[in-house]
Structure 1
Amino acid sequence: MYLTPKSGLLLGACCITAIAAVGSIFELSYGQPDFGVPATATILGLSIPLTVLFFVAAVRDARANIK
């Protein structure tokens, strides 16, 4: 098993930021966002690169722990 606690936490953070990105896209696409357009756009702008960053970090950590 290659999943370490660190890579598991990174994958969890990746899932959360991906959900935030999808939710922000839907909020911006279908009417007035609950938090307003600037806040929702900021969440979207931050969550996309964070999703990629967390995923890459999780894969690197898992590969580093292959024995």
Structure 2
Amino acid sequence: MTPKSGAFLAGSCIAGIAAVGSVFELSSGAPQWGTVATAVTLALSIPLTVVCFFAAVRDARANL
């Protein structure tokens, strides 16, 4: 693994944690940041998780 793929993987993990946290906040009924900000965070973090993960895999495979 290269530092670049490690950074992508770390970004994927952080975005995934943000997505899960947003789901729990929205399901509680009273999100701390408000419904709109939490929903935007959820909407942005899900694709970011996928994109960062695939970028990490692509970079790791390219540097085998």
Common fold by TM > 0.5: yes
AA in 2 matched with 1:33 = P
Give the distance between the partners of 2:2 and 2:41, measured in 1 at CA. 28
Aligned to 2:51: 53
Point out the structure with max Rg over C-alpha: 1
* Structure 1 equivalent of residue 15 of structure 2: 17
Q: What letter is aligned with 1:62?
A: A
Matched to 2:27, the amino acid is S
Shift of 1:14: 0.3
Match of 2:31 in 1: 33
Unaligned runs of 5+ in 2: none
The whole-number CA distance in structure 1 between the counterparts of 2:55 and 2:8 is 7
Cα-Cα RMSD: 0.4
- One-letter identity of the residue aligned with 1:18: G
Paired positions, count = 64
Query: Normalization by structure 2: what TM-score?
Result: 0.98
- Report the alpha carbon displacement of residue 31 of structure 1 after superposing the two structures with TM: 2.0
| Normalised TM-score (structure 1) | 0.94
**Where in structure 1 do 4 or more consecutive aligned residues deviate above 2 Å?**
none
Greater helix percent: which structure? 2
